[in-house]
Chain A
Amino acid sequence: MDPRVAPPFPTAALPILQNMQLRKNVAHATDVIQAKRNNLVAEKRDWHELRTSAAAIRAHVLANLGTYLEQFETTCTAAGGTVHWARDAAEARAIILRILREENATEVIKIKTMTSAEIQLNPALEAAGIAAIETDLAELILQLGEDEPSHIVVPALHVNRRQVRDIFAQRMGLPELSDDPEALTAAARAYLRRKFLSVPTAISGANFLIAETGSVVIVESEGNGRMCLTLPRTLITLAGIEKVLPRFADLEVLLQVLARSATGERMNPYTSLWSGITPSDGPQRFHVVLLDNGRSEILGRKVERQTLQCIRCGACMNTCPVYRQTGGHAYGSPYAGPIGAILTPQLEHMQHAQSLPYASSLCGACYEVCPVKINIPEVLIELRAQVVNQERSQPSRWFDPMYLGMKAANFVFAGAARFRLAQRVGHLALRLFTGKDGWIRRLPSLGARWTMSRDLRALPDQTFRDWWATREASATREASQHEERR
């Protein structure tokens, strides 16, 4: 999914809201993960302290990012790895293609990496005649089904197992396949084993990079990632520059909060750590591509910087009432949900995906669950302010009802006399739309967006301030009459 060409969120959400099966799948899956997460967080008596530590570690990294990245480059290189720096998506794609060409690769196996989706790697590989084979079960389902990821941790969350069966049956040529989970994983296993054993180049993302040791950390649930990390001759790791941690010991905190927040597990089934190259064991050529792609721009901004604290657990998506209704595709980016709503527009330098900061009711559920305490509502509001600053002087917004309304409201709120006059005018104007029962069923312009599903009670004849003024006047009158009588 490419945010540069994706339709705005409200438009993209429309067909999804009609897809009851998808919405049911999303609601069910997020309920299951959330219930597990909540139980495991509840059992942790020091959850609050863990969260505070995780947030502090991540904030410290961002405050010293240059130092830790250079340290990582030194330690990783010393361990036999090659570190590449990519300013943007195009540079990252070019580096990866160059390495693959040097390897004469025609196929490459991939571990789930959202960063590769961010840089649109697969289409570039395809154009260069290199077949990318997704080995994460969920990514495989999506690749075979020609679908897109809708969640950063559980990319095929919107697909149920009957749909998986249909995809596998068709694409793997297994018409008799049942939708039994064991049968489905066995089919995927048979399909993927051939690739693991024959393809000598692999691409991974990274959950963390360790500056102290030059290590890369991958957490996963299936073990397919470990196949990709150990069997090929050449391994390329693509990582956003914010993924670095200072010390090996920092994993103590971050792995605890990550597993609980992401999948509702005390510990994820597979945690792979490696540092450079081990002679005669595992990949013998190892590259790390460090991707900036807008991140250092985000780093320079006071409120938005916290966006980069993210450890991609997806807890914000699972708890988000908006994501629950729309799933991930409406966000038009590999990064969906609340974190996607703040990350995507920033990665696009506020040039695309301008509707995303508004794809939230600001309910704050995301902030509450975030294991690294990213105040997503605060960043959403900050980005909204940037959108308004960008747009407010554009001629296309001169007659936009939202902009006109906001300006008019500001004028009105600047003085009580104006406000009272606006209340009276509003009262009279809305009478035109008010039914006999005192309710408004249909409004024009932006109001129609309200009355699409909600009636509006007519404005009462007397505002509170007028009631108060009347009451004060009668109290004063009574007091003076009382005075006269005395």
Chain B
Amino acid sequence: MRASLFITCYNDTLFPETGRAVVRLLERLGVELDFLPAQTCCGQMHANTGFRAEAFSQARRFVQLYRDAECVVIPSSSCVAMIRDQYSGLFEELGNEELRKQFAALLPRVYELSEFLTDKLGAEDVGAYFPHRVTYHASCHGLRGLHVGDRPFRLLKNVRSLELVSLANLERCCGFGGTFSVKNAEVSTAMLDAKLTDVLATDADYCTALDNSCLMHLGGALHRRKKSLQTIHIAGILASTMDHPHGATP
């Protein structure tokens, strides 16, 4: 199996360890990965803030770059939701028929990481080991945008020594919302407070998710409040093994 990794702009810059974890995990499962250095951003930030022409440029770049890929794996549910929900409309409004067709052909080959593992590879037990108490935060775009359902739970339940604790009000947004976290910082913070109360009540060691964006928001607040609870992208947990546990130097 060959797959092309779209790491996303913010993982590339802010969370390279997530990208490295995805590589370790997928190569362990026998996937032959490539990384196209021409990739930048999916256009989500521009599209969701109203900068449509700019979002279109990024969307076009994505399609032109990946149109021949066997499949594309993206470790960020919100970027995948951007591609699935908004690209068509952008191409219809600003693009051309050729681009729209290329995108339609590419779309079924674009996977969020947990989808790729469970649906494409048929793997629920990825041989991971993570001896910690973990709670799962359902990012809105994964939950309601992609309908990932119980895929992340099936993956986490098969991790050796992982104690999974459920999070109250799982379906409620953490308040990140991209530029919302800055434009409406006070309301975003009020939503964050509510989410943190639920997260801390789990008494978990780690809070995980399909999206580092929510985790940047939650983790930043946990650090501000000097809490020991840490955030980790699900790839970090799934990449961790008995021989090579999370936190060991690569």
The B-contacting residues of A in range 346-375, CB under 8 angstroms, are: 357-365, 367-368
The A-contacting residues of B in range 168-196, CB under 8 angstroms, are: 171-173, 175-192, 194
Q: Which residues of B contact A324 (CB under 8 A)?
A: 191, 194
Q: Which of A63-71, A193-201, A454-462 lines the interface with chain B? A: A454-462
- How distant is B87 from chain A, measured CB to nearest CB, in Å? 13
Contact of A456 among B54, B175, B220 (CB under 8 A): B220
Of all chain A residues, which has the CB nearest B54?
A: A410
- Contact between A464 and B220, CB atoms less than 8 A apart: no
Q: Which residues of A contact B61 (CB under 8 A)?
A: 413-414
Expressed in whole angstroms, the Cα–Cα distance for A390 and B144 within the complex equals 31
Number of A-B contacts (CB under 8 A): 196
Q: Which residues of A contact B46 (CB under 8 A)?
A: 406, 409-410
Q: Which of A7-15, A105-113, A149-157 lines the interface with chain B? A: A7-15
B236 at the interface (CB under 8 A from A): no
B117 at the interface (CB under 8 A from A): no
Query: Which bucket holds chain B's interface residue count?
Result: 35 or more
A385 at the interface (CB under 8 A from B): yes
Expressed in whole angstroms, the Cα–Cα distance for A435 and B12 within the complex equals 22
Of all chain A residues, which has the CB nearest B41?
A: A413
Q: Which of A74-82, A171-179, A264-272, A444-452 lines the interface with chain B? A: A444-452
24 contacts across the A-B interface (CB closer than 8 A): A10-B185, A358-B180, A359-B187, A363-B177, A384-B48, A384-B49, A384-B50, A388-B49, A388-B52, A402-B179, A413-B57, A413-B61, A439-B223, A449-B181, A449-B183, A453-B189, A454-B217, A455-B223, A457-B220, A463-B12, A464-B11, A464-B20, A465-B7, A469-B37
Q: Which residues of A contact B19 (CB under 8 A)?
A: 464, 467-468
Of all chain A residues, which has the CB nearest B11?
A: A464
Expressed in whole angstroms, the Cα–Cα distance for A467 and B191 within the complex equals 36
Give chain A's interface secondary structure class.
helix
Expressed in whole angstroms, the Cα–Cα distance for A365 and B139 within the complex equals 12
Further contacts, 16 of them, CB under 8 A, given A17-B190, A364-B145:
A10-B186, A322-B187, A360-B177, A361-B188, A368-B144, A384-B50, A388-B52, A409-B41, A410-B51, A410-B54, A452-B185, A452-B186, A452-B189, A453-B189, A456-B220, A469-B37
Q: Which residues of A contact B40 (CB under 8 A)?
A: 412-416, 419
Contact of A325 among B11, B38, B58, B190 (CB under 8 A): B190
Expressed in whole angstroms, the Cα–Cα distance for A385 and B49 within the complex equals 7
- Contact between A17 and B186, CB atoms less than 8 A apart: yes
- Contact between A455 and B220, CB atoms less than 8 A apart: yes
- Contact between B12 and A423, CB atoms less than 8 A apart: yes
